[in-house]
Every structure is written in structure tokens, then in C-alpha cells.
Structure 1
Amino acid sequence: MTDTSSVSIDKRGPALWITINRPEKRNAINADVIAGIAKGYRAAHDDPAIRAIVLTGAGEKAFCAGADLQNTGGAFAAQDFSKPNVDFADLLRLSQNATKPAIARVNGVCMAGGMGLLCMTDMAISADNVIFGLPEVKVGVFPMQVLSLLQSIAPRRIVNEWAITGEPFDAKTALAAGLLNHVVPPAELDAKVDWLIGRITDKSPTAIRRGKYAMRAIASMSFDEAIAYTETQIALLAMTEDAKEGLKAFAEKRKPSWPGK
């Protein structure tokens, strides 16, 4: 396990768990949290044994309640405006360019910037008692960076209501809007996360890496651009050792042993 003051990074078999470790602050985001999550993402990609990333919060009350407004005395005013990029935005960029799948384990309240952390993962499992929201308008700001990811996940009119009213909503609503993959009782959360990790790690790591790369590349393409790009990608994928092993294992009616190449 690797720890910073605000984030713990824990290798559990084929998964790297990144845990925001500020339960007394409802796992609110500060500079250390952003740096710690980014460190975890980089560590996962540097380790070929890691097949999935799990992002969660410590304790039972909060996944992440958003920016730490109390400690900053005005989180947004504290920014260095000489920097062209904002650290939180850079973290979202890092997540979108990642080629290993990430799961959000939503164990408690998920608000504001916490919604951004949720949206930057590929899949999400939530306890059924979690409350979500984009309350930024209540303090005179707007969920600008969160919208860059949220608008491609949930329907536009639902996002409009969440962002403009700032009113909270429950896990059932989040599931119906496509924000979550699964909702379970709190006692079953870890078992469901382990189940999903298992569904990832028995598949080809090469296919997943190249697939995530392609999904990111075609996100803003027209159909004609996307089909031209993906027809070249399937040809390249067929040349990998994983593809050869997968086809051989299928023919021999056995489980594949993925070389990851």
C-alpha cells in the first residue's frame, strides 16, 4: 500500500484501489486528493499486472462530497490563474486517456466534484442509500468541468435539471439516468465490485486496452470517420498474441491464457 496524506493506493490482486482518505471531511477534494488519484492512475498503467482500477472513498458516509470549500476559504478563488490548465481538469484528461478500465465504488454521498470523479470512470457501482447532486449553483458557481463528462453519460434534459436546480437525487434516479451500472445494498457493495473486477480480468487485456483507446478516439468522429478508423483497428487487433490465443482457445474449447501482448 502507498499512502499520501489524503489518498491511499492499494494493490489487491489484479486491481489497484485508489481510496480518498479524508472521511472526516466527507472525502472532499483538495490538491493532495487530485495528486494522489493521478498518482494511482499512473501507477496502474505502469504495472502490467494491474488489470482494473477501483476509485472509492474511505468510510461509509461519503464517496466524495466535492471541493473542500472550508479548508480553502474559497476553492475557486485559490486557483493560480497564470496556469492555462486547472489541476482537476488535468485529472479528468488523464482519466479519459487511460487504457485500463476504472470502476467507481460509490459508498456514500457523491456531490459536485465527486460527480466528476464518478463520471471519469468507465463503470460505477453504488450503494442504494447514496445521495447524488450538483449543488454548485447554491454557492454561486456551476459544475463546469463535471459537465464535460456528464453530458455524454446522462440525457440532456436530466443533466439540465441537476445542474440548474442543484437539487439532490437518489441512487435509483442515478441508475435510471445511466450514471450507474449497478445499485446494491451497502452490505453487498464490495461483493458486486469484486464480481465486476472478475468479469474484466478474465478477458483479454490487450483487447480492452486497444478497445478503450479506440472508443476514446472515435467519440467525436462522424460515422464515416469512425468506421474508417475502426476497420484499421480490428485488423491490427487480429495480429496481437491475445487474439491468436483467444481464437486457439475457442477452437480447443478451453479458457484462454492471455499473454497480454
Structure 2
Amino acid sequence: MEPSGGGVRYERDGHVVTITYDRPEKRNAIDGDMRRAINAAWDRFRTDDEAWVAIVTGAGSAFCAGADTRSTTGNPAGDFPGSFWERPTVNSLESGWEIFKPIVAAVNGPAVGYGVTLLTWCDFVIAAEEATFSFPEVRLGVPTIVGALRLPRMIDRQHAMELLMTGETIDARRAHEIGLAGRVVPGESLMDEARALAGRLTAGAPLAQRAIKEMVVRGPEMGTTEAIRFGETMRRVVAGTEDAAEGAAAARERRASHWRAR
């Protein structure tokens, strides 16, 4: 296991990366140092050719308690270089970095604010029975922005609005009912379930998976004709890769495919 520093652990086992938010004494609340470490960890995953799937979880009894409003190490939202006015922009996974590799969230405890926004960019959410979920910003007099953009795309609009506008906390059972959590498992089996799912994902062709995820993300923002044309272009590009040739050969030879993400 390799520490990234600033309250984040980064571990790669084969093609599966586990990113652990590791500031348990603060319930994994994000301060300036941790924000920089989180961004570095996700950038490392994004650019590592051998990293195909990520699991994100929290150390201790919390997943992520949101922003540390008492941070003495900088802005928990991160720095926004390139703007004289320091205007916020896309500078993290929560704010919309495009990472088209599959991401599994293993929610081991409370997910608050940033913690829930992170889930809206994950592809699979597995929750421990003791996990909880909340967007408390509205009770502090400020709006949730990225969560308001992403949550209604993930779950029913009325359920999303209830979470966003009341600031109330829901438990894992309710999160599963409304589609925020794909499954709920006992806490002691949470990481086993997440690793098992990640292992299943590595059986699929990595480049094909990334094309699928990009279509899922971009397609709804396009018109139907444009989306189909874009998707067919991507399909032809992926069909010309080494992995596509390997998949065809494996099918002919009735054997398992050996992917290389090339």
C-alpha cells in the first residue's frame, strides 16, 4: 500500500486500484491537504494504463464527512488556477473530471456533502448497512451545486429534490430504495463485495468499457442523431484495437480473453 500523503491511501492489486480516504480522526472530512492528495490519487488512476477499475472507500467508521470547514491547509474545494478571479471550475472528480474507467464506491459509513457528490460520479455504489447519506448544505444556508446537477440524473427527480432541499439524512435501506445505492451488505463483507465486483469488471475489455461509460455520460447531453453518430465512431475506433482482435480470437478459440487495454 502506497500513501499518497495528505490523508489518502492508494493501492493497486493487479488492475484494480483502491483509493481510501484516510483521515478517520476527522471522519474523512476534506481539508486543503486532503483535497490535493485526492486529486493526485484520481489523476494517478486516470493516467495509469495498468489501472482499469477503482474502488473508493473511507477509513474508520465514515466514508466522507464532506468539507472540513475548519481547514487550515487551504480550500477543501481545491485551487482554481488560471483565473484572475479564482472562479471555481472542474478541478476534481466530484466537480466533474472525466474519468471513464469504472469506479465502485464502497460506502462504509456516513457520506455527507462531497461524499455524496462523489457517488454521483461513481458507476456502482455498494453500501454497508450502517451507511448514511445527506446533503446538509441547505441547512447551512448555501446551495448544493454539482450535486444538484448530477443527483437527478442518477435517481428519480423527486427523491433527489427531497435530499437536496431538506438536508435530511437517509439510511442505507432508503438509499437502496431510491436507487442511490445499488446494494446494501453487512459492513464486515463490504470490501469483499466491492473487490468481487471489481474483479468481475476486469473480465470485460477495458477500452470497450470506457467507450460505454463515455456514451452513458455524454449521450444524454446530445441529440439522438448526434449521439448515435458519436457512438458509432467510438465503436469503430475500439473495433480497431488489439483488444478487439483478441476478443474475436478468444471467441473463435473458445477461451478466455487476455486484455491489454490497447
TM-score normalized by structure 2? 0.89
Q: Structure 2: which 5+ residue stretches go unaligned?
A: none
Is the CA contact 1:154–1:177 (under 8 Å) kept in the aligned structure 2?
A: yes
Work out whether 1:136 is the aligned partner of 2:145. no
In the alignment, which residue of structure 2 is the partner of 1:64? 64
In the alignment, which residue of structure 2 is the partner of 1:41? 42
Partner SS state of residue 219, structure 1: helix
Task: Kindly tell me the number of residue pairs found equivalent between the two proteins.
Answer: 257
Distance 1:179 1:64 in 2: 16
Is the CA contact 1:41–1:53 (under 8 Å) kept in the aligned structure 2?
A: no
| Cα offset, 1:219, TM superposition | 3.1
Root mean square deviation of aligned Cα: 2.4
Q: Which amino acid aligns with 1:65?
A: A
Q: Which moved more, 1:117-126 or 1:106-115?
A: 117-126
* Bigger helix share: 1
In the alignment, which residue of structure 2 is the partner of 1:157? 158
Partner SS state of residue 55, structure 1: strand
Q: Cα distance 1:139–1:95, how it changes in 2: closer, same or farther (>3 A)?
A: closer
Distance 1:78 1:100 in 2: 23
| Segments ≥4 residues shifted beyond 4 Å | 75-81, 93-96
| Cα offset, 1:93, TM superposition | 6.7
Specify which of 66, 85, 88 is matched with residue 85 of structure 1: 88
Q: How does 1:1-261 map to 2 (within 5 A)?
A: 1-59=2-60, 61-71=61-71, 82-86=85-89, 89-92=90-93, 96-261=97-262
Distance 1:94 1:256 in 2: 35
Is the CA contact 1:96–1:216 (under 8 Å) kept in the aligned structure 2?
A: no
Is the CA contact 2:66–2:114 (under 8 Å) kept in the aligned structure 1?
A: yes
**Residue deviations 1:168-204 (CA, integer Å, cap 9, x gap):** 1111111122212221000110110111111111111
Distance 2:77 2:208 in 1: 43
**Residue deviations 1:55-94 (CA, integer Å, cap 9, x gap):** 11111x210011112346xx799998921225xx421377
Distance 1:22 1:226 in 2: 41
Distance 1:150 1:138 in 2: 18
| Cα offset, 1:142, TM superposition | 2.0
Distance 1:95 1:36 in 2: 17
Is the CA contact 1:158–1:177 (under 8 Å) kept in the aligned structure 2?
A: yes
Partner SS state of residue 68, structure 1: coil
Percentage of matched positions with identical amino acids: 34
Q: Which moved more, 1:47-56 or 1:94-103?
A: 94-103
Q: Which amino acid aligns with 1:153?
A: M
TM-score normalized by structure 1? 0.90
Distance 1:193 1:9 in 2: 16
**Residue deviations 1:230-253 (CA, integer Å, cap 9, x gap):** 122222222222112112211221
